[in-house]
Amino acid sequence: MEKTDFVILAAGRGERLWPITNHIPKTMVRILKKPLLEWIVESVYGHARKIIVVVGSKKEAVMEHFSKSRFADKIVFVTQEEQHGSAHALLQAEKLVEGKFVVLNGDNFFDPRFVDSFLDRISGEEWFLVGKIVEDKSAFGEIVAENGFLKRIDEKTGSQEPGIANTNAAFLPKEFFSLIRSLQPSVRGELEFTDALTAFAGKNKVRVIEFGGYWNDVGYFWNYLDASEFACNNLLEDDRRGKIEPNVVVNGKLHLGEGSMIRAPARIEGPVFIGKNSTVGPNSFLRNGAVVEDDCHVGSSEIKNSIIMSRSNAPHFNYVGDSVVCEDVNLGAGAITANLRFDNKIVFAEVKGKNVSSGKKKLGCVVGSGTKIGINVSITCGKMIGSDCKVYPRVFVKDNMPDGTVLTE
């Protein structure tokens, strides 16, 4: 197979993932402790002549991580100094691209078959765009095809029907950059990659490859949880390097990092991921999809399908279900997250001032980094607590909390 250049767009802010992206760019949000962007780089590394990463917001975190990685020899960074749209981001890579190239979004998550689905096609002259078959196309740009070729891309229509979501993964010629320079800004005032693709398809045949496997755009925190759950169930390897005391029950796959300990009695119902130098137990119950990163403490608590990021603690009688707890968070004794509405209806969340359906009946909350949660605090479904907040004891959190908020009652 002919090697080619890969351009990975990694300049976005990831505002819908607030407060998770307060301190890191969206591309560095971790799945099984590995950044989204690294999963992508790893999947294309062996097939790439060069990997051009377009960075922007919080670019230092991306550049520092990958300059020290085993992929550094093929990675070249280019900066989008001002954000003027996805096509504008791609345009920054023009001088580094040698010929035909593949473009990918750096903040998506997918199983390895996603890349495999098009690798055998990049040696030819047939341009293509990869689409993901979805049951609900309302949250995505929709690929409209005719006889297997791209006709146009319709931006989010709100129609809750099956369709082919645009993944922005495409194989294109270098001449595509000239087309971008001739684009007019969209109604948002940006140069849109989707507009460029539609214009290109008007003069060239662009094959639509329908991908039926796992792909996730990680738009909202519940999408992040979905991606983590998929990785736990399908990509996690049983690897137990830490210490497990006698009388600990472990069923299913367990990743236990170096320096970590599971103290008896405890029960692990895998797949479960525990990073380095963390302590779990005694009297802990970690259920399917629980991810506990480095330097954490989970005591007499239950964790289910949730991500506990590094240096955070759920030490005493906590329940964390279908939730994200960011770095340096402490949950006081008895603090719990509700993950099921009392009426069993779909959970909604307020994101950037809009009430957004998660499509889920079970969804907890997200707690931003550095936040302190007092004893016996209850957090209701779908709420988002910002970074560096303080929630006083016995408070019921029923609304989102901006960064730095202090809630006393």
Is the confidence at residue 156, as pLDDT, over 70?
A: no
**Range 229-232 contact pairs with CB under 8 angstroms and sequence separation of 24 or more:** 229/288, 229/289, 229/305, 230/109, 230/111, 231/31, 231/32, 231/109, 232/32, 232/271, 232/272, 232/273, 232/288, 232/289, 232/291
- The amino acid occupying position 272 is V
pLDDT tens for 337-365 read 999 999 999 999 999 999 999 999 999 99
pLDDT more than 70, % of the chain: 99
Rounded-to-integer distance, Cα 365 and Cα 369, Å:
13
Query: What integer pLDDT is reported at residue 57 of this predicted model?
Result: 85
| CATH (residue range 236-407) | 2.160.10.10
- CA dihedral of residues 318, 24, 232, 400 (deg, nearest 10): 40
The pLDDT tens digits for 2-17 are 789 999 999 988 999 9
The domain locations on the chain are: 4-219, 236-407
226-267 pLDDT, tens per residue?
A: 999 999 999 999 999 999 999 999 999 999 999 999 999 999
Q: Is the pLDDT of residue 190 over 70?
A: yes
pLDDT at position 118 is: 85
pLDDT digits (tens, 9 = 90+) for 160-186: 788 899 999 999 999 999 999 988 888
Q: What is the CATH number of domain 4-219?
A: 3.90.550.10
Residues 6 or more apart in contact with residue 254 via CB below 8 angstroms: 238, 240, 268, 270, 271, 272, 274
Pick the range with the lowest mean pLDDT from 119-133, 140-154, 384-398. Answer: 119-133
Q: Tell me the mean pLDDT in the region 292-298.
A: 98
The pLDDT assigned to 78 comes to 97
